[in-house]
Structure 1
Amino acid sequence: MRPLDPVTSKQRAAYGFAFFVLFVALWSWATFGGHVSKTFLANPLTMVQEGYDLLAKHGFLYDIGMTIWRVVGGFALAAVIAVPLGVLMGAYKPIEAFLEPFVSFARYLPASAFIPLLILWAGIGEMQKLLVIFIGAVFQIILMIAVTVGATRRDLVEAAYTLGASDRGIIRRVLLPSAAPEIAEILRLVLGWAWTYVIVAELIGSSSGIGHMITDSQALLNTGQIIFGIIVIGLIGLISDFLFKAFNAWLFPWKLA
């Protein structure tokens, strides 16, 4: 290996698979070998059996569907508001000066801290969970997009003005096309963060979802179900990440990976 030397797609897949094999091997050694009590960590076979029971007997597919809906709903709500605001902040410095201090302040606030207030304001229904994801994602998206749009090459803007473009035309024909691939990548990254927020939202006042299942399993000391739920979250997140990345590559074929 040499610094920054690229690897082929097959090598990348092989390295990634090797890590998971090593991880499961260490997990098996720790649990089957008796180095860790099963009370604290279930072995891989127990986890698989508990996962099968969840899917076959306890309607876990419904919980998975509810969690996916909450992630998609809260993230979409955040994106609809954050993308236009981020573009405006990046394009117009007065708007950036007006909003940036508050956005920078708000993005450090943990979404979980708002749960008691959101329960008071929106109850324990779906709106409360969507708002937790919204709060956790919206400020991050706004600031990241503002920075991306604001970093557009100035010579492109000046050339467009020379050719007679209006202010609105600058945004529509220069800033947005230039920043669009990076905006799509920002949305992909923040979607991953949204999965952490939804589990926090489901840990309190929820009767469905993966987080609710994990809470119930913790009360029963069923580490097999807890681990299975965590793995399901990771798999769904990984699949959504690959789909998002493939969609971005199709939408912006000129963007180098």
Structure 2
Amino acid sequence: MPDYIDIHSHLNFPDLYKDKDDVLLRMKEKKVWTISVGTDRKSSEKNLEFLNYDGVFTTVGLHPDDDLGEEKFAYDDYKKMAEHKKVVAIGECGLDYFRINSEDSEKKKKQKQIFEAQIDLAQKLHKPLMIHCRPGKGGDAYQDVYDILKSTGGVSGNTHFFAGDIETAKKFLSIGFSLSFTGVITFVRDYDPVIQYASLNMIMSETDAPFVAPVPHRGKTNEPSFVPLVVAKIAEIRGEDIAAVKGALVANAIRVFGLK
């Protein structure tokens, strides 16, 4: 069993992939497992290269930012990739309104259709969702994601890089979705209230590597071996014993994603 699980990284992205052997070695030294997350067909396919590595699990999916480009959600192709037992979730998928104007209903409609297709795939394969959700000029993406998940039912998962308030957290927790936090919590206090509010069995640690490296690595390429810093900060914010928090976060990831 690992000491830590980074439930959301991108080993398939160039900044980590080019040094993957060293990145994986540092993970092994720190006893870290990770889930490498797909964002489109190319990155999802590249994830399949990691299926034979110990301590690495993957997802396949289409990020909502990418669904506005040329790529369509090729359901059957993603289904074939997702059938492997170490592909542990569908995503990252959801809604991203950061670059959408509030009146651009067509783009929002397209995002919702592709999100719903990935929910359907997760249901058919009995796999959880890795949710990406970012509000913006286009509106409250958290509310729309919650409404879709609640009305659909029959699916579980995690809300990655959660940045909502306590009231938003309550909604996702009420439908069984866990919340995960990145290294951002090591240098801003905005996330503290939700981390303190949520039950320990409903939160997880992530890096979102190669992005948002935690203190003291800010400005550097992030990687899964930095996740112990996130776990330590969660324990500090909650005022709880770090050993207990470490164990709980590992158990949560194993439970939510069925890691073996």
Please report the TM-score for the alignment, with normalisation by the length of structure 2. 0.23
Higher relative contact order (CA 8 A, sep 6+): 1
Higher helix fraction (1 or 2): 1
Higher strand fraction (1 or 2): 2
Please report the TM-score for the alignment, with normalisation by the length of structure 1. 0.23
